[in-house]
A and B are shown apart, each in its own frame.
Chain A
Amino acid sequence: MTAFSLSRLLKPNGDFYRLTCGILQGLAGAGIAILDLDGRLLAGSEPQDGRQRYPVWVEDQVAGWVAGGDPAAAVAAWISYAAGQEAQKKSMAAELIDRYRELNLLYHLSEHLVSSPDTLSISKVALAEAVRMIPAATAILLSRPSGQEALEKAAVLGQDYAVISSCCLIDRVLQSGRAELANAVSAEDYFDQANGRKISLACAPLKTEKSIQGVILLVDSEKRVFSAGELKLLNAIGLQIAPALEISRLWQLAIEKAKIEREFQMARRVQESLLPRAMPRFPGWSIGNRWRPARNVSGDFYDLIREDQRLGLVIADVTDKGLPAALFMVFIRSAIRSSVNRGSPLAEEISQANRLICQDSHQGLLATMFYARLSPDTGEMEYVNAGHNPPLYYNAQKNQLQLLARTGVTLGMDAHMSYTSQTIHLLPGDMVLFYTDGVTEAINAAKEQFGLDRLMEVVYQLRACPVEQLLDGVDEALADFTQSLPSFDDITLLALKRL
């Protein structure tokens, strides 16, 4: 608080001066003189030597003197009272100015924050506004980058100190969420390479409702003593910028997420372009499919490979989901395509594909696969089942469903694995449904799996239907079962029917 000025209260032509002069005129015989601390006459008559002096008290401090005869003591008491009232008014007005200054700062800060596009700009604006209102040689903003506990220097204004972000002051502010001062303290406790200096610091948290994201730190020499009022202001700045920093951070995350989303969509289009564009047509045969990734991209795939007079039907499932699985799927597809139709027995060709996959796969990714080599003219279908869910083979003659069991292990597991093949003959009315585990492992709200039995039941009921109707029927059964809960796994179906 600034010292009270009696001369200001008794400024000539002021109301109080006029009132006082009127009173002193009534006490003219007493020779009253009102003097400031230096003995200068403010009102009344020139003081006479030897007269008693009575102090004018304002908030326990002498603000001036009243000299003169007997009434001087009463005049001093009266002026003390009036001066006390005035000092109180001034003090409240000073408080008002501080609050108004704070209000102005916060408005100013809000305006700047709104137009600040990123966290760095916000941090710089915050520091500039902080030192504008609370003069300091250095202002530093330390914040926690997304998902990290440790503080990082986000922005600096003034001398760039090597702040020890784990120092006790910052640590306390982070823990308590309350701003703190440390005036004239040893710099070594706060900065590296402090060289025995002393400094003053003010530190306020960057606090939102949910968390404390960092601190704003003002630093100056030990001569600068930060006040409690300044600390309050710094705290207000911290409270103002913390949500802005949080919004900016979330905005950046949203932008990055949208970017990743776009990239995934592009990846999906690339992946879709690797799938057969249309089902091949062979007289007397019907082929249909469904492909539904659980996410944007899939680890499931199917392929149709023309092998001279034969057709290779492939369904595979990478043991993961999302982008890694999708990338692995591309690799598996290439390995299979480069290994088959080389004139060797199917089992040998799949063994070769497996060797290629084992050689180049170092990420622990595996893939189950079913490869069927169909001769449309004869109806002969040779297959290798590398750890894949057994396709359902409907034998019309026997009117029964059979499972085409595994003939080898999952691809990518063992380079020395030799695969074997099996052969069936498809006759008119026969049908094979290839599927991935996303079908049988689809779950409902009660966490029950759709399961092989339900699939077999649906397929058996629709055994006489065209493939598209069969696939629609399986889709409907899945939707009924899961009550359209989002699927956690990719779903692929491939149906082959001899007409």
Chain B
Amino acid sequence: MPPKVLIVDDEAFIRTLIAQTLEDFEDDGVEILATGDGEEALRLIRSKKPDLVFLDVMLPNLDGFAVCQQVKENQTTAATYVVLLTAKGQEFDRLRGQQCGADQYLTKPFDPDEIVSLAEKILVH
């Protein structure tokens, strides 16, 4: 099974940004998936089993906290590495993120190089 990364953000440019940043990983066989909807994200996580998920907090239908909580509560998906994307000035979201079991947080605007480092850490090692 090739490693997979799921990008979940309702803003298309953030999805493009992360996907393009991870383009070199695609050449190495990493599959990049993307969606802008919380419920769709949950469905993709259950069906595609991505290794790494970049998950925005504010999403239509199901927010990032709820998605993360359901992923971490389900034994078949609990090992998924979830990176919550929180907005600048919403640092209190971190506490909620911790409570729902997120593995890491990135504050927008994040450094694209951080995305690469994270992907290397999770997908390569």
- Hey, which bits of chain A sit against chain B, CB under 8 A? 5, 7-8, 11, 90, 93-94, 96-97, 100-101, 103-105, 107-108
Contact = CB atoms under 8 A, between A and B. Distances in A.
A176 B88 CA distance: 35
A72 B113 CA distance: 41
5 contacts: A7-B27, A93-B20, A97-B20, A100-B17, A100-B109
Interface string B4-33: 000000000100110111010011000000
A202 B110 CA distance: 25
B63 to A, nearest CB: 23
B112 A97 contact: yes
A104 B110 contact: yes
Contacts of A104: 109-112
A56 B74 CA distance: 48
B21 to A, nearest CB: 6
Given A8-B26, A11-B26, A107-B88, A96 B20 contact: yes
Interface string B46-88: 0000000000000000000000000000000000000000001
Given A8-B27, A107-B88, A97 B109 contact: no
Nearest to B31: A13
B43 to A, nearest CB: 19
Contacts of B111: 101, 104-105, 108
Contacts of A107: 88, 109
Interface of B: 13, 16-17, 19-21, 23, 26-27, 88, 109-113
Contacts of B27: 5, 7-8
Given A8-B23, A8-B26, A11-B26, A96 B17 contact: yes
B20 A90 contact: yes
B112 A100 contact: yes
Contacts of B110: 104
A96 B14 CA distance: 9
Give chain A's interface secondary structure class: helix
Contacts of B13: 96
A100 B111 CA distance: 7
A100 B19 CA distance: 14
Of listed B16, B19, B109, B112, residue having the most chain A CB within 10 A: B109
Contacts of B109: 100, 103-104, 107
Contacts of A100: 17, 109, 112
A103 B13 CA distance: 14
A96 B27 CA distance: 21
A93 B16 CA distance: 7
Contacts of B26: 8, 11
Nearest to B19: A93
Nearest to A98: B112
Given A104-B111, A107-B88, 20 more contacts: A8-B23, A8-B26, A8-B27, A11-B26, A90-B20, A93-B16, A93-B17, A93-B19, A94-B20, A96-B16, A97-B20, A97-B21, A97-B112, A100-B17, A100-B112, A101-B111, A101-B112, A103-B109, A104-B109, A104-B112
A93 B17 CA distance: 6
Contacts of A96: 13, 16-17, 20
A100 B113 CA distance: 11
A107 B107 CA distance: 10
A93 B23 CA distance: 11
A97 B88 contact: no
Contacts of B112: 97, 100-101, 104
Contacts of A101: 111-113
A97 B23 contact: no
B47 to A, nearest CB: 16
A313 B113 CA distance: 81
A33 B16 CA distance: 30
A429 B97 CA distance: 91
Contacts of B113: 101
A90 B112 CA distance: 15
A185 to B, nearest CB: 29
A401 B27 CA distance: 107
B108 to A, nearest CB: 9
Residue from A5, A90, A107 with most neighbouring chain B CB atoms (10 Å): A107
Nearest to B114: A104
Contacts of B21: 97
Contacts of B16: 93, 96
The 5 closest A-B pairs by CB, nearest first: A93-B20, A103-B109, A104-B109, A104-B111, A97-B112
A149 B109 CA distance: 38
B113 to A, nearest CB: 8
A434 B16 CA distance: 86
A7 B26 CA distance: 11
A112 to B, nearest CB: 14
A94 B13 CA distance: 11
B114 to A, nearest CB: 9
Nearest to B29: A11
Contacts of A103: 109
A94 B16 CA distance: 10
Nearest to A101: B112
A109 to B, nearest CB: 12
Nearest to A107: B109
